[in-house]
Structure 1
């Protein structure tokens, strides 16, 4: 049993892309589904599929994306920011820019999980979940 499901989610993606796997399967939850949708919308993964399992938890199958010429993974780094032991929060004006706007910060706000850019536009702050670039 793992204590931080979000860290497990990010680690599975990180390890699968480092090993060169095409597809990674991850146990599902609401926040993982929302983060998966953000990764797809931002172009970090090829596709995803939500499947039901026998234990009613479900799973997420994510097709990882690689550069066609260099065969390097598109996700260079995926890093957990706020942990269960140390939560990190930021207001709408304090949300960081990742790699000068080339990366994405994922924020859990009162309006749901969204990118840092969307949170700035909606003028809401929240918990910094992770950085992806």
Structure 2
């Protein structure tokens, strides 16, 4: 059992991308569900589905690839805020990931959102991860 479900989710996605798997299974929590919704909205995954197995809830994420060589849409995922070291930013210091080519997922008082939406709403929060 892992204590950091987000890091586990990101590692599973990273590993599945490396071997070009079509789907990846992650444990369902409120945070992983929110991150999955953001990944779908931003076009990093095609879809996700919830299912239950042996009284545990899981998410199946359908990864996205492009071209004949099936290059992954997600080039890199980096966990920023960890359970041992939380990283918070205010609305003035929201991160830019690769000059706004990537996204940062931020957990704010108004919910989990991307850095672009947090900038629009004028809120800061905990930086969960960078994706590009």
Q: CA deviation digits over 1:23-79, x for unaligned, max 9?
A: 101110011001000000000011111113332x31100110011244110000011
Compare 111-120 and 61-70 and name the one that shifted more: 61-70
- How many residue pairs match? The answer is 132
Q: CA deviation digits over 1:84-130, x for unaligned, max 9?
A: 11100000110011111110000000001000110111111000000
Secondary structure (helix, strand or coil) at the match of 2:66 reads coil
Matching of residue 35 in structure 1 with residue 35 in structure 2? yes
- Higher normalized strand content (fraction of residues): 2
- TM-score using structure 2 length: 0.96
Compare 46-55 and 76-85 and name the one that shifted more: 46-55
Compare 86-95 and 68-77 and name the one that shifted more: 68-77
Moved over 2 A (4+): none
Q: For residues 7 and 40 of structure 1, what CA distance do their matches in structure 2 show?
A: 18
Matching of residue 49 in structure 1 with residue 49 in structure 2? yes
Secondary structure (helix, strand or coil) at the match of 1:100 reads coil
Alignment of 1:96-111 (within 5 A): 96-111=95-110
- TM-score using structure 1 length: 0.95
Q: For residues 96 and 33 of structure 1, what CA distance do their matches in structure 2 show?
A: 23
Structure 2, unaligned runs of 5 or more? none
Q: For residues 21 and 53 of structure 1, what CA distance do their matches in structure 2 show?
A: 21
Q: For residues 70 and 92 of structure 1, what CA distance do their matches in structure 2 show?
A: 40
2:77 aligned residue: 78
Structure 1, unaligned runs of 5 or more? none
